[in-house]
Homo-oligomer: A and B are copies of this chain.
Amino acid sequence: MAGSDLFVGTLDVLILKAVSWGPIHGYGIGRWIRQTTRDALQVQEGALYPALHRLERKGLLEEEWGVSETGREAKYYRLTTAGRGELRAAVTRWRDYAHAVTLALDTTGR
C-alpha cells in the first residue's frame, strides 16, 4: 500500500469511495488516492489491479471498457448496489476502528 509499508486493509474502502461518483478507470483510482491524500498514500499497481478484480468477483464493482480522457482504451468501474452498501459499511467500520486506536494511543495512563 503506502510508500512506507503501512496498514493493510484500507485499500478496498478507498477504491469503493473513488468509484462512488461514477465510472472511473483503475489508473485514475490510483491517481485519485494519491491526490486526495496529498501523496500520503501511494497505491502500488501490483496491489491496485488485483484489488479491483477481487472487488469485481465479490460483486461490488462492475467493469466496462471505454475510452479515457486521453483517448486511450481503459476499463471503467462502477459501483453495484451491493458495492454501495459495502461502501457505507466499510466507512463505518473504518471510523469505529480509527476511533478505537486513537482512544488507546491517546490514553495517558494504565
- Residues in chain A within 8 A of chain B (CB atoms): 2, 4, 6-10, 13-14, 17-18, 21, 24, 32-33, 36-38, 40-41, 91, 93-105, 107, 109-110
Contacts and interface: CB of A to CB of B under 8 A. Distances in A.
This chain's copy number in the assembly: 2
Contact of A104 (B36, B100, B109): B36
A18 B105 CA distance: 9
Given A14-B104, A110-B32, A97 B40 contact: yes
A44 to B, nearest CB: 16
B17 A104 contact: yes
A99 B2 CA distance: 14
Contacts of A37: 100-101, 103-104
A21 to B, nearest CB: 5
A15 B2 CA distance: 22
